[in-house]
Chain A
Amino acid sequence: MKFIDEFRDAGLVRKLANRIAAISTKQARLMEFCGGHTVAIMKNGIRQLLPPNVQMLSGPGCPVCVTSNSDIDKVLALAKLPDVIITTFGDMLKVPGSYSSLQQARAEGNDIRIVYSTQDALQIARENPGKSVVFVGIGFETTAPTVAAAVMQADAEKIRNFYIICLLKLTPPAMKALLDLGEVKLNGIICPGHVSAIIGTHPYQAYARDYGVACVVAGFEPVDILQAVEMLVQQIEAGNPTVEIAYTRGVKEEGNVRALEMMRGVFDVQSATWRGIGTIPSSGYQLKQKFSRFDAEKAFVIDPGPVREHQGCCCGEILRGVKTPEDCRLFAKVCVPENPVGPCMVSAEGSCAAYYQYGDFHER
């Protein structure tokens, strides 16, 4: 396939890997923030190609994984209300809340439908005027513009039975929170590709300047990722941390100005609860006052009940990069995809699932 095969070229991959090995002398602890990167790295076996002093850690960039139990409980409570249709992206279905999951709630007879875009959810609202259609707004800055667009469209068309439960999260504040925690000494960050296509690279400047961490935005193919690693290693070797883009075909410095405008028009920034990290100020979105009639949490009275946390798993530490899945005693023994203990094993983009699914077999 044109424009993809070039970025999977085995010869180019080998060349990049050799170049990285040749220039790398210092310890380079790199974190990929995005779950999509974690999957690509594991699926292609990229860690096997890197010299031992280049270490890859996985960050909190799986939107499903960082959604807190209390937020999932809210969605489940909404699903149980009469005449409510829940519309959601597929990978939310299996994630357990305190006591149940959307998959279980669906089996119990609640109307829960998988959609591929917010437009599908709007269409369901148009086709079911007698029902309340709630879209589970989960994701990062990549998903936020599509939610904003749906809200603006529903407002313009005066669709009165469409609601959003707004669980959207923002990546730069979470990165800052990890750096402030200081549990892992990072030398570089592989910045998310799709998120950066929206927000651009300005938010990362502070990490390079204030924390001395090299930042490179990467695409999702093996050549993209290795190119970003090479640029990070060059910055680290030169002792000159800065912000660069390896994914120039997808990301501009200023980001997507139009999408950012829409997001600013529809959402206010608020604090959000991240699983494994806790409450991070200014790291989430809520609907602006003028769109509050679309806010499911305001439109419905729900009682999600007491929150229960899953005991005994390291998802929190894994999301913070303090531990890798292999450090968890439950990993691949007790905690497996068919019997997941924590959310990192549930979501396809969760670190544990990616390590389990695609892990280098020498490690197991």
Chain B
Amino acid sequence: MNDRILLAHGSGSKLSHDLLEKILVPPINNPLLARMDDAAVFELAGKLAFTTDSYVVNPIFFPGGDIGRLAVCGTVNDLSMSGAEPLYLSLALIIEEGLEIAELSRIIQSVKDTCDEAGVQVITGDTKVVNKGKADKLFINTAGIGSLPKGLDISGSNAKIGDKIILSGGIGEHGIAVMSQREGLQFSVPVQSDCAPLNKLVAAMLRASKKINCMRDPTRGGLAATLSEFALQSDVGIVIEEDKIPLHDGVRGVCELLGLDPLYIANEGKLVAVVSPEDAEKVLKAMKQNKYAGEAAVIGEVTAGHRGRVVMKTNIGASRIVDMPTGEILPRIC
């Protein structure tokens, strides 16, 4: 077999068949996938959640993760944020001609490891190969289906005045890890992506309380975008306190250097929950026992004032608006 992906690998020929049989399917195989029919067939009862997301991260390997882990975590987390238990995923690959097969294998193995960690299965998939320059090494799309427990209603529009805002840990790690790698910025404190499946964390939170009103993973746009969305969707105000927000030194240092605001930097393994005040401590305690939320903290609360806006009390005791991010986040000149 060649050591790089050729256009012929996507042509439906013997080569395509070999790629599937030898490289793509074995690591992630399971009885539903193994049927290799045009569609996976399965039974599910009750209320379901369904989501999809595409992953185009550059570079495809970054400190703390890779595009395969990201593609599983992203979709698992989107399902989890609605309160659903993620079950099945689809996996569609768009491969740029010339990708090393060894790299592809590492990514499929990473998909498998992350699926195992989250307890989900890839049950259908697709592979396309495009000409050099028409994609950037590898693009992945995953869709996911999950089952919702009865009586659960978690939505960005459910925040109520007095609710507590809980954040599961330090912000900005994924965005800074990827940016450092992409731009070849060498820092003495390397920042690792926080990319992680959060379904078990969410399950523990839901066991602790039925009063989780909103939940979201602050990916692109960061914490600022997620909180702004809650404030707008629920038509409430939100106040957060700068000194309560967990932030690791590495992220802080890079942000200082490049003039970036960590509130706007992407996360891939964090969540924000809006919880009724009487249950906040219970939820926080449950979260802290999960390995991805040891630094969880109450960072603020929902208020009646300044509806639709997020206000942050700064470290020096003043306050400022935290607005939605706009456009591409670019480092400053001086």
Chain A contact residues, CB within 8 Å of chain B: 1, 4, 8, 10, 13-14, 36, 42-46, 48-49, 63-64, 89-94, 103, 114, 116, 138-140, 142-143, 194, 222, 336-338, 348-349, 356-361, 364
Interface centre among B249, B258, B259, B320 (most CB of A within 10 A): B320
**B-chain residues with CB within 8 Å of residue A139 when the two chains form the complex:** 333-334
Please, how many residues of chain B have a CB less than 8 angstroms from a CB on the other chain? 29
Chain A residues, CB < 8 A from B309: 361
What is the distance, in angstroms, from A230's C-beta to the closest C-beta of chain B? 15
Contact B320 A91 (CB under 8 A): no
User: Dominant SS at the B interface?
Assistant: loop
Tell whether A91 pairs with B330 under 8 Å between CB atoms, given A1-B249, A1-B253, A361-B309: yes
Measured between beta carbons, the chain A residues less than 8 angstroms from B318 are: 44-46, 48-49, 360
Counting CB contacts under 8 A, is B183 at the interface? yes
> Is there a chain A Cβ closer than 8 Å to B317's Cβ?
yes
Q: Considering the complex, which residues of chain B in the window 244-262 have a beta carbon less than 8 Å from any beta carbon of chain A? A: 249, 252-253, 256, 258-259, 261
B323 at the interface (CB under 8 A from A): yes
Report B296-334 residues with CB < 8 Å from chain A CB.
306, 309, 311, 314-321, 323, 326-328, 330-334
Known A90-B333, A91-B331, A337-B327; further 11 A-B contacts with Cβ < 8 A: A10-B316, A14-B316, A14-B317, A92-B333, A103-B328, A337-B326, A348-B330, A358-B321, A360-B318, A361-B306, A361-B319
B311-A90 in contact (CB<8A): no
Query: B185 contacts which of A64, A116, A143 (Cβ < 8 Å)?
Result: A116
Q: Are B334 and A90 interface neighbours, CB within 8 A?
A: no
Residue of A nearest to B317 (CB): A10
What residues on B are CB-neighbors of A359 within 8 Å? 320-321
B316 touches A222 (CB 8 A): yes
Kindly identify which residue among B256, B314, B328, B334 contacts A142, using a CB–CB cutoff of 8 Å.
B334
Q: Which residue of B lies closest to A338 (CB)?
A: B326
CA distance A49 to B319 in the complex (A): 10
Q: How far is the CA of A352 from the CA of B86 in the complex (A)?
A: 44
- B-chain residues with CB within 8 Å of residue A89 when the two chains form the complex: 331-333
Q: In the docked arrangement, what's the CA distance between A14 and B316, Å?
A: 8
Residue in chain A with minimal CB distance to B316: A13
Nearest A residue to B313 via CB reads A45
Complex interface: chain A residues within 8 A of B261 (CB): 43
Q: Are B316 and A1 in contact (CB under 8 A)?
A: no
18 A–B pairs (Cβ distance < 8 Å), ordered by A: A1-B256, A8-B315, A10-B317, A43-B261, A44-B314, A45-B314, A46-B316, A48-B319, A49-B317, A63-B333, A89-B332, A90-B331, A91-B331, A142-B334, A348-B332, A357-B321, A360-B319, A361-B320
Q: Mark B253-295, 1 if CB is under 8 A from A, else 0.
A: 1001011010000000000000000000000000000000000
A45 touches B319 (CB 8 A): yes
A1-B252, A8-B316, A116-B183 given as contacts; is B323 within 8 A of A93 (CB)? no
* Partner pick for B323 among A4, A143, A356, CB 8 A cutoff: A356
Indicate whether A43 sits within 8 Å of B330 (C-beta atoms), given known contacts A116-B183, A361-B309: no
Which residue in chain A gives the minimum CB-CB distance to B260?
Answer: A348
A357 engages B319 (CB within 8 Å)? no
Contacts of B249 in A (CB 8 A): 1
> What is the chain B residue whose CB lies nearest that of A34?
B334
10 A-B pairs with least C-beta separation: A45-B318, A90-B330, A337-B326, A13-B316, A89-B333, A142-B334, A338-B326, A358-B320, A48-B318, A90-B331
Whose C-beta in chain B lies nearest to the C-beta of A47? B318
Nearest chain A CB to B186 CB, angstrom units: 12
Q: In the complex, A114 Cα to B331 Cα: how many Å?
A: 9
A337 to B259, CA, bound (A): 18
Report A180 CB to chain B, min CB distance, Å.
26
**What residues on B are CB-neighbors of A36 within 8 Å?**
334
Residue of A nearest to B259 (CB): A348
A44 vs B320: C-alpha distance when bound (angstroms): 7
Partner of A43, one of B320, B328, B333: B320
